[in-house]
Amino acid sequence: MTSRPHYRVAQWATGTIGRRALRAIIEHPAMTLTGVHVHTPAKAGLDAGELCGTAPIGVRATTDIEQILAARPDCVLYMPLAFDADEVCRLLAAGIDVVTTCGRFHHPDSTDPALRARVDAACARGRATVHSAGSSPGFITESLPLTLLSLQRELTALTIDEYADLSRRPSPELLFGIMGFGRAAPADAPSRAAHLRESFGPSLRSVAATVGLPLDELTAHAEFAPARADVTIAAGTIRAGTVAAQRVTVTGLHRGAPLLTFRASWYCTRDVEADWRLGDTGWHVSVVGDAPLEADLRLAVEVDRMAEVSPGYTAHRAVNAIPAVCAAEPGIVTSAELPRIVSDLRPGRRDPLSSIS
């Protein structure tokens, strides 16, 4: 039997997604962790296992990029809160492939021209590859749509609905402070919509271009629905009349008609003053074409455990993409250009399901 390649991987950042990715690398049968980059000085020097809840493995976290480079990983999983072009270009120019959950590279033609030029030059210098991965955007806006469209010869429209029940998310700073639940409808709806257009638009453009129907324009709008009555959620109390559900719709038009749509509906209760469909946490994909399809993907996890389990949907996709990215030609590669991403589920250092307890 042909032996499988082995990959030396470094983890960059250990936030919620990064910790899950770090654990997946440690437990992966075909990967060896070479380093961990952290931004918090208090984490520097800690064992990687301590950072993600496994036994110590002898790899200590660092704030120094030189230590990551010196360990000569094949690939870095780059998952910081804020994207830093200097860091990414330094890694690529050193010949290290990068898989990132920072969504800068879902559609190279949509990438800022100055950034793309820098990244292309770094990839050429190091003969390295960079890929943006994740669950949303990523899997649900690229990989799954392209699979469903493989059954079509004519396409009228494809719509992706994303639903997130946040009622058991114990994160008041996120829900009330950042997202604005429990407040009056915000005046910055256009900026909210623009943010999602920038986040999800490149994926829609990539899919449309891949199937030969390039988008002429991307539109986006945000809507807010107030609670009908006071409701207590894990993060606190939402008063009647304040925002309890949000919906942002990003639409890609081809020849003036809606072709691809991504619609995110996030809610803390279904009892709102709006006639919206608020499905279980997950996705619904509708394809209108000569082979019509309706597909539901529900995150089969109890709401109380969603915050614990959901990081894996993003982190694991990035980890599983490493072999394909390492085998790809240098440059920015998209989901459409990569071969099918296949998970290696052989038992590693632990039972692969033991991280979800």
Averaged over 104-133, what is the pLDDT? 97
Range 99-114 burial, b when 16+ CB lie within 10 A, else e: bbbbbbbbbbebbeee
Percent of the chain clearing pLDDT 90 (strictly above):
87
Task: Identify the DSSP state of 121.
Answer: H
**pLDDT, position 351:** 41
pLDDT at residue number 169: 87
- What pLDDT does 348 receive? 66
CA angle 282, 287, 288 (to 5 degrees): 145
CA angle 13, 14, 18 (to 5 degrees): 90
Q: What is the DSSP letter of 138?
A: B
Parse the chain into domains and list their residue ranges: 7-136+310-332, 152-290
Rounded to 5 degrees, what angle do the CA atoms 223, 237, 270 make?
Answer: 45
Phi, psi of 58 (to 5 degrees): 90, 5
> If pLDDT is split at 50, 70 and 90, which confidence band does 349 have?
low
The architecture (CATH level 2) of 7-136+310-332 comes to 3-Layer(aba) Sandwich (3.40)
- The angle formed by the CA atoms of residues 276, 101 and 132, to the nearest 5 degrees, is 100
> What is the distance between the alpha carbons of residues 216 and 160, in angstroms, rounded to a whole number?
19
pLDDT one-digit tens code per residue, 269-314: 999 999 999 999 999 999 999 999 999 999 988 877 888 888 999 9
pLDDT at 357: 31
> Could you tell me the pLDDT band of residue 352, with boundaries at 50, 70 and 90?
very low
pLDDT recorded at residue 355 = 38
Instruction: With cut-offs at 50, 70 and 90, classify the pLDDT of residue 44.
Output: very high
CA separation for the pair 79, 236 (Å, rounded): 29
Per-residue pLDDT, averaged over 98-125, amounts to: 96
